[in-house]
Structure 1
Amino acid sequence: MTRAAWRHAARFRFHSAALRLREAPDLRLHVKDVMAKLENPVLMATIGGAQGLRGEVRAKAYTADPTALGDYGNLHSMDGRTFEILDIREMKNVVVVRFRGINDRNAAEALNGLELYIERDNLPDEELEEDEFFYADLEGLEALDDQGVSYGTVTGVFDFGAGDLLELKGPGKRPVLIPFSEVSVLDIDLEGGKITIDPLAAGLVDGEDGGPKFTPDKPKKKK
């Protein structure tokens, strides 16, 4: 896979990772008190406070289109419930959602802080273009420079307001953050399980004397 569509990538967290989403067919299901055992959960939204008296809630959606929150299959909480979205609309920086079976303010308030997930397999890979990818798939990729020196693995993607950042962590080392840009991250190879980075542009080495700010691992020997 070649370089990503950096400027258009939307934030989406998967255990602190993000991904780009495209709209998918509407796949809305009912609220059920059943154990949803997700093998590869992707965080879709976090429910906030109640909105009004009829059971609506405010939620922070992590999809590219916030109103497409219910378009990727089941929405599950980790306590085993599965949610169907009956109605959704945008309001400032959140969405207002009405779930089936949540009919009053008390029921809505009980959902405050609940995180909603889907199974990774529900994301529409076939709709991705050649230069698009899901940020969720970045977690676990090894970060190497062009000499094969390892700077750890990707353990998260964050955005604190100034652009996306990749979190890298090596064995026994503290996590470090690097800019998630085409200057710092030169290539993404999902099949190969790695990304190629420029340590200088990523701020991992000092440009004045070339000294490391982050101690890399030794290059791996080719078999």
Structure 2
Amino acid sequence: MSAQICVARIGAAHGVRGAVKLWTFTEDPLAVKRYGPLLTKDGARQFEVATAREAKGHLVATLKGIATREEAERLNGLELYIAREKLPETDEDEYYHADLIGLAAVTTANEPLGRVVAIHNFGAGDIIEIAPPQGATMLLPFTNAVVPSVDLAGGRVVIELPAEIEGDDPTAA
């Protein structure tokens, strides 16, 4: 089975005719209408977006086969996935988070740091999480300064470790 990419999460029911709030994780929120069937993580259920319109920070969508508020309420919280190959190609210096997970992380001197385990965004920009072979994971800004090179074909990211991390001064009293 190919890699699955989470493209949306169903939220609360909207109205009485089976519409739902739909949070999308795509550059173009309405792209979810063009992907065809969207699957649950386990692939057991699939949904197709029949209609969608933009609202504040989300879409209001109807899903084929969901006609009542009660049916819509039961879907709250479901994440919807598509196969990685259905997504469009990225531009240079653009990456799908799923393509980065599992890549080796090395320093600019080619010393191993660990593996990329996640990409987070807590509102102030992307954060790359690196898990070393032992010890705590590192959370670093996913910027060109800290991650000067992403080599998908070579299976690695190059990390320029910051010289010092604020609040991490061992000499401070």
Q: TM-score, normalised by structure 2?
A: 0.88
Summarize deviations over 1:135-169 as a string: whole Å, max 9, x none: 32111111111211121111111110111100110
| Residue aligning to 1:160 | 122
- Kindly indicate whether residue 10 of structure 2 is the aligned counterpart of residue 47 of structure 1: yes
State which of 165, 169, 179 in structure 1 corresponds to 2:131: 169
Please list, as runs of the form range in 1=range in 2, the aligned pairs for 1:7-156 lying within 5 A after superposition: 38-78=1-41, 80-125=44-89, 128-156=90-118
1:192–1:207: structure 2 CA closer, same or farther, 3 Å change rule?
Answer: farther
TM-score (norm 1): 0.70
Aligned in 2, Cα 1:176/1:188: closer, same or farther, shift over 3 Å? same
Runs of 5+ in structure 2 lacking a partner?
Answer: none
More strand by share: 2
Structure 2 Cα separation of the partners of residues 82 and 202 of structure 1? 48
For the pair 1:180 / 2:142, whether they are aligned, the reply is yes
Q: Classify 1:123/1:201 alpha carbon distance in 2 versus 1 (closer, same or farther; 3 Å).
A: farther
Confirm whether residue 189 of structure 1 aligns to residue 168 of structure 2. no
Percent identity, aligned pairs only, is 40
Cα separation, 2, equivalents of 1:59 and 1:168: 30
- Which structure's relative contact order is higher, taking Cα pairs within 8 Å and 6+ residues apart? 1
Query: Structure 1 residues 57 and 202, CA, compared in 2 at 3 Å: closer, same or farther?
Result: farther
For residue 73 of structure 1, report the CA deviation from its aligned partner. 3.7
- Structure 2 distance, partners of 1:150, 1:202, is 19
Distance 1:73 1:171, change over 3 A: farther
Q: 5+ unaligned residues in a row in structure 1: which ranges?
A: 1-37, 210-223
Say how many residue pairs are matched: 169
